[in-house]
Structure 1
Amino acid sequence: MARRDRRRKAAPRVRRLNASFAASPDAFTVPVRWVKAIVGIFLLPPCYILTAAFFSALFRAADQDFHRTAEFLFFAAGSAIWLFVFFVLPRPLWIYVFGHELTHALAVRLAGGQVLDFNVSREGGHVVTDKINTWIALAPYFIPIYSVIVIALYGLGSVFYDLEPYRPLLYVLLGFTWTFHATFTLSMIPKGQTDLAYGGHFFSLLVIYLMNLLVLSFMLLLALPQQGGFRKFARDILLFSADFAVGAKHVFDLLVRAAGY
């Protein structure tokens, strides 16, 4: 994704700022990536807590024979269809690129920015905008845009028609589109995406992991056959948070003793 330079009338201000720094060689500014790296360290505990809560919910789902429910089977069928396409057939990269850049564009609009150019081709794509932040840069990596479109179309159609008989197809499409998002995201990240460089790779990867886990947890809790899934999930987050706090205090006490205080 690209960002258009500031308009000409803003240039003098930029030059004045640059001149002020040049005139003060002792001035020191903390790079944004350093700040985000520190923020990333503080994201590690939420990543641990959410991961533990997710697997706790997953184990509860297995105890309830969730893997035998129609919802799971249809979702798994859609996922399997996409995995066959991804690993056996030619990959439709341009569809991924379009969805990726579309998510950038929607994130820009939601953040109050302007989309000045939108380009997609087989070689890649870009969005030119007057605004950039972490939300805009990383949104395509944790928002399964085609799954969102499927849900939106199903919800809109349900207003005018009875789509309950087509609910199995909804689960198939969700499995197909979410796995599409997951496989392309995992395959593209190691290729040096410039979006990740905006906030630093350490911070960006933690945000992507955390947000994708939130989305996956939400989907799992919605599909659970038993009521109270969200309440139990919230309880697990509190319990694992308390366990982490106790463990962190224990480690801190050990370090203090080792230092001789």
Structure 2
Amino acid sequence: MASTVKKRRRRLRTGLKSHQEPAETEWVIPVRWLKQLIAVFLIPPSWIVTRAFFSSFSTAAVQHRFWASEEFWFFCLGTLLWFIAFFGLPRPMLLYVFGHELTHAIWTWLMGGKVRQFHVSRAGGYVVTDTNNFWISLAPYFFPLYSVLALLLYGSIGMFVDVEPYKRWLFGVVGFTWCFHATFAIWMLWNGQTDLIEHGTFFSMMVIYLVNFSVLSVMLIVACRDVTFSYFGKELLDGAMEFSDQLLHLVHLKL
């Protein structure tokens, strides 16, 4: 949904002949091809992060009864309420489009760019910026804006009053808003988006998948006391070792 205004530098040609020796032929690799190659190399870390997430979650659920914790149940309550709203009520398209375009704008500012125009309506929206890259284009599909705003609001209020008794409700709000982000992202991707085509669909999907599972992993670490960053790091290392062993075994069979 994002539009960009790109500044291009044009080279002035005087028409004078140069007496220099002709330069050697340069091989230029299209950026789109390079991104597809990068996408292939993103498959291993995506598999490793996915394995670490489900392994950590299963360990927390079975051995530490994470499924019985308030954090888990309030998060699930939030997701359930959102599913009821998404499938049973008119979909808040204006709210989603606003968040989508605002995410484009925020990531443009984070990248040092400027937003020239910002338009939102129920039929769609756009932002006109002076710069663009794949982070800006794909941000709405992996950056849960409303969940981040809820966390920032909770943290800001917590600087002045004790909000610990309301922590359970925070997980409910995060579950609701993150599910809002996930369902709309999947729905919009299913219908096709120029944001993906611009940088290559395969590359874009790999980036979206990897970042979303990384965000989910951080949420699990924050919500579950028994899953720490060091524990999750160990799961990542185990996954990397397992992947490399399987790859070496496959190569050995081929040889």
1:196 paired residue number: 196
What CA distance in whole angstroms lies between the structure 2 residues aligned with 1:53 and 1:11? 46
Work out the percentage of aligned pairs sharing the same amino acid: 47
1:30 maps onto 2:32 in alignment: no
- Taking structure 2 as the reference length, the TM-score comes to 0.91
Work out the number of aligned pairs and report it.
243
What CA distance in whole angstroms lies between the structure 2 residues aligned with 1:82 and 1:120? 23
1:239 paired residue number: 238
1:189-242 C-alpha deviation (Å, 9 max, x unpaired): 01111111121000100110000000001101111132x522111111111111
2:71 paired residue number: 71
What CA distance in whole angstroms lies between the structure 2 residues aligned with 1:140 and 1:11? 30
What CA distance in whole angstroms lies between the structure 2 residues aligned with 1:158 and 1:176? 21
What CA distance in whole angstroms lies between the structure 1 residues aligned with 2:209 and 2:82? 22
The alpha carbon displacement at 1:108 in A equals 0.5
1:124 paired residue number: 124
2:147 paired residue number: 147
**Could you say if the C-alpha distance between residues 11 and 243 of structure 1 is closer, same or farther in structure 2, counting changes exceeding 3 Å?**
closer
The alpha carbon displacement at 1:168 in A equals 2.2
List gaps (5 residues or longer) in structure 1.
17-23, 257-261
1:137 maps onto 2:133 in alignment: no
Which residue type is aligned with residue 149 of structure 2? I
2:56 paired residue number: 57
Q: CA RMSD in A?
A: 1.6
1:19 paired residue number: none
What CA distance in whole angstroms lies between the structure 2 residues aligned with 1:54 and 1:171? 18
The alpha carbon displacement at 1:165 in A equals 2.3
What CA distance in whole angstroms lies between the structure 2 residues aligned with 1:251 and 1:225? 38
1:40 paired residue number: 39
- Cα pair 2:6 2:131 within 8 Å, conserved: no
The alpha carbon displacement at 1:105 in A equals 0.5
The alpha carbon displacement at 1:251 in A equals 1.4
Q: What SS is found at the alignment partner of 2:127?
A: strand
- Taking structure 1 as the reference length, the TM-score comes to 0.89
Which residue type is aligned with residue 52 of structure 1? R
The alpha carbon displacement at 1:5 in A equals 4.1
